[in-house]
Homo-oligomer: A and B are copies of this chain.
Amino acid sequence: MPANVKALFFDVFGTLVDWRTSIAREAEVLLKPLGYSIDWIAFADAWRGEYQAGMEEVRSGRIPFSKLDVLHRHNLDRIRPRFGLDRLDEKAVTELNLAWHRLDAWRDVTPGLVRLRKKFWLAPVSNGNISLGVDLARRNGFPWDAILGAEVAGDYKPKPRVYLASADAFGLAPAQCMMVAAHSKDLSAAAACGLRTGHIARPDEYGPGTGESAPKVPVDVAALSLEDLAAKLGV
C-alpha cells in the first residue's frame, strides 16, 4: 500500500456508475411514451461510441474546451438518425441529453466512498462537467470534498493537465494523489504524471464479461470494488 496518499481521484463513467443500463433505461422512460421502440442498449452503446471522438476535438485543440454536456448533445445529434430519432422536438432532445445526469452507481460505490472519506480527500476526476457531477452526487449520495476534473482543468483525460490540475487544486504533489479507475488507459496516463493508481474491476461495463476484470498495466492497488479498495488502503 503506497504511503503518503492524501487524496483519491475517481473516474466516474464505468468506474462508479453503470452508464450503460442507466442510459438505456432513461432513454426508454423518455421515448417510449412518445411512441418510440428501439434497441435501448444499442442506443446507449452507440451514444457512448461517439464519446472519445467528441473529446478528441478538444484535446487536439481543433475546438476550444466545451463541457461534456455540450459534446454529449453533439454526439446525440450524430446518432439520432440511426435510431429514427430525427424528428424529436428540441425539448425532448434537451431532456434526453440530461440522461447522463441520472446514472446509477454500482452497488459498492456509495458505502465504499463513505468509508474512504474517513481517511482521504475525495473528488471525481472525470470528463463529466461540474453540474453533471453534482447531479450524480445528489442522486447517489457521493460524499465529494470537491468536484474536480475536465471542466476545472479545461481539457479532457487522458491529457496530463487534467491529473496535474486536480492535484494542484488540492494543494498536493501528484504522488500524494491516487487515481482510481476501471480503465487501464486512465491509470497509465495518471501514473505518467506521477500519481498513484488504483484499479477497480468492472467486468460488466459494456455487458457481462466485457470490461476489465484486472488491470492491464502495473498499478499500486488492484481491487474488486470500492469496499475492497477501502480494505486494501487500511480504512
Whether the pair B130, A146 counts as a contact (CB closer than 8 A) is yes
Of the residues B130, B138, B169, contact of A151 by C-beta under 8 Å: B169
Indicate with 1 or 0, residue by residue over A120-137, a CB within 8 angstroms of chain B CB atoms. 010000000111011001
Interface size of A by Cβ–Cβ distance < 8 Å?
A: 21
| Oligomer copy total | 2
Whether the pair A146, B133 counts as a contact (CB closer than 8 A) is yes
Restricting to A63-87, which residues have a CB under 8 Å from any CB of B?
67, 69
Of the residues B121, B129, B152, contact of A152 by C-beta under 8 Å: B152
Chain B minimum-CB-distance residue to A134:
B145
Which residues on B sit within 8 Å (CB–CB) of A169? 130-131, 151
- C-alpha spacing A152/B150, complex, angstroms: 12
Residues of chain A having any CB pair with chain B under 8 Å? 67, 69, 121, 129-131, 133-134, 137-138, 144-148, 151-152, 169-172
* Further 13 A-B residue pairs, CB within 8 A, beyond A130-B169, A134-B145: A67-B171, A69-B171, A121-B134, A129-B171, A130-B146, A131-B169, A131-B172, A133-B146, A134-B170, A137-B145, A144-B146, A146-B146, A146-B147
